[in-house]
Structure formats: structure tokens, C-alpha cells
Amino acid sequence: MAKKDRLSGNEAVAVAMRQVNPDVMPAFPITPSTELPQYFSSYVANGQVDTEFIPVESEHSAMGACIGSEAAGARTITATSSAGFAFMWELLYVAASNRLPIVLALVNRALSGPININCDHSDGMGARDSGWIQLYAEDNQEAYDNYIQAFRIGEHEDVQLPVMVCQDGFITSHGVQNIELLEDKEVKKFVGQYKPERALLNPGTSFAVGPYSVSDHYFEAKRAQAEALKHSKKVIKDVAVEYKKLSGRGFTWFEEYKMKDAEYCMIIMGSAAGTGKDAVDALREKGVKAGLIKIRMFRPFPGKEIANAVSKCKVIACMDRTESYNLQSGPIGADVKTALYNEGAKVKVLNYVYGLGGRDVTVKSLSSVFKDMEKVQKNNKLGNPYRYLSVRG
């Protein structure tokens, strides 16, 4: 039976961590994810979990310890944000290439510089090509739900990849919301006991971690990673279906909001999706056929499926909460345009950079994006395809 509570996003994920009761958690604090190891260390101290909590000297060390413990056969978690996440950079690739299903709670925050502690997606987007599965949450409930599902996804025999579960710094991590929690026993049953087939402490198998890979093998190893990521799409969908039966909540790769007859669609990710839905509702009342797609699974990217979902739209707008500095598009814009091209879908595409460094995202500002889409369609001119929203000149 579900239990109702009022929790911040960090609290909700910390509860999920306690319910999973992992074997090891190495961690180093950084705003706004500091609360996660703080809450969890209290669970350890109170005897609510039997996890080995390892306070380390840096985020680089945290991921190094994660790699060691997961390779040994222990279910391992950690949490970080922004510059701390960047400090893990080298080892993110090591974790993925060694096929270690670590679960990392990433509380998204702007990367320096200039120094800023507020939300954008520059940290997570910077690691989009590291080989990790990436799940993004709109709200506290989804952060909790995604976190529980992450273990079943990463540890699946057809996947064996690390998973980062992302939520927006301060907006959801510290904002309090009514959510529903599963019973502890339901979570434990759903996640199951971790029994890796290959582990350093399993004497029955041959297993090497971090070996030097010569040219004869490196390419094949990277291709194998890509195949595992491809397999994860089905696993993510299957796990979501099973989780919905348990909780009554969930969708798979992305959510379609009022897309059945939409002529103008916004593609967005994270907490701003809720604001986007309010903008869609307001525009629908005025007769505008507006719709929205919220991405939950950013890696692997569901390109073909999104392309098909927007193929009948007149104009779409891809919303990126980061700047790629390629003067062409942001990460979401690039992936969506590639998918449309591959599927032969002829849809006009605008791409916006928005919300950097915690800049407010309002119904009014997102509604202006739909007005821009209408203008493009009316004039049959795309104009500048790469734009900035709510920025001073």
C-alpha cells in the first residue's frame, strides 16, 4: 500500500536509497546534492541500513571507490552535482567501459564558471557521451520512481551499464511536494538481491577490471557498450511497465502531453516540463493546438520514436538547458534534428537555450516559444533556428 508524504526531491531519493539498502555508498558533499549523503549517513548511523558508507576526500575518489566496490560484486551508489560531477569525469568513462551498474544520483547544477550553484543541465549534458544511461525527472515523485527503477535497468544481464538519475537542483531537490512512497518490502522485492555473474570476489569466474585494451580489442569493446545501450531501451520500457503495475505511475522513454492533434510541439526535459504543460493548457484554451513531449530517457536517446511522435506537427521547438557552443544547436536540438533527418520527417525546428544558471522559466516565457512557432508557420520562414530565451541583450 502506498504511503503519502511531503518530501523534497533529495529526501525522496534518500528514502529510495534506504529502501534499496545498497551494499556500499562512497560520497563527497557538494551543493545541492549534499543532503543525499547526509540523509543516508544518518540511516547508516541509526542502523536502518547495513550499507558501508565511505566518506572520501573528493568526488574523483568517490567514483573510484564506486568502481572498486561494484567490480567486487557490491551494489553501489553515490551522489553529486556540477563541479563534483566534472571531477569524476575520467572515471565516468571507466565505470561505463567496465560495464559496472553503479547508480548515481545527479542533482543538476550549472558548471563553473562563472561560479553558480543553481539549476541547469550543463553537468549532465557534458557527460552524455560517457556511456551512462541517463534518466531525467520532472518532479520529486519521478525522481523517487526513476531511482528505484534504475537498479533493475543497469543490472539487467542484457545491459550491465551505470545509470545516472537526474533531477533539477533546488527546484526539485529542495522544493517540497506531496508524493507517494512504496512500502519498504515492495521496493526490496522489486529491486531484488544483487547477484552479479561476474565479480572480482567471485572465484568461479574470470574477470578483469581496467585492463589495457590494445587496438585489436578497443573498438569492439566500445561497440559492445553501444549495443548494451541499445538493449537498455527495451529493458527501460519493460521495467517501467512492471513498475506501473506496482505503483500505478510511470511512462517509458518520454511523455506525450496533448500531442494527438498538436500542430506545435515543445520538446523539453526536467522540471520545466511542468511549466510547459501549463503553457500548453493556457494556449489550448485560446484554440492553439499546442502539445509537449517530455523526455525522461535522454541516453539512450529515443530518436526514432520522438521523430514519429512529432512527424505531423508544423513546427517544433527543442529546449536545451545548456549551451553547447557549437553555434548550431543544443544537445536535444541536435539529437532531434538527426532523428528527423533519419526518419525523413520534414518538420520545421527551432532550438532554444533557456534557464541557464537558474534563470526563471515561466508560463509566459514558454508561451512565447509557441508564439514564435506560429510566426514561423505563418511567414514560412524559419529565421534564426538557434535562439536564446529570456536573456538580456
pLDDT for 211: 86
How much is the pLDDT for 329?
Answer: 97
* Dihedral angle over CA of 237, 243, 247, 249, nearest 10: -10
The CA distance from 218 to 99, in Å, is 14
- Looking at the DSSP bridge assignments, the partners of residue 76 are 24
Helix and strand element counts for the chain (H, E): 13, 15
Contact criterion met (CB below 8 Å) for 322 and 330: yes
* Average pLDDT by stretches of 10, the chain with 393 residues: 92 98 98 98 98 98 98 98 98 97 98 95 97 98 98 98 98 98 98 93 84 93 97 98 96 96 98 98 98 98 98 98 96 98 97 98 98 98 97 90
What pTM was computed for the model? 0.97
Chain-centroid distance, C-alpha 386 = 24
- Are the beta carbons of 235 and 228 closer than 8 angstroms? no
- pLDDT at position 1 is 65
**Cα-Cα-Cα-Cα dihedral sign, residues 264, 269, 275, 278:** positive
What domains can be seen in the chain, in order of their start residue?
Answer: 3-247 (3.40.50.970), 254-388 (3.40.50.920)
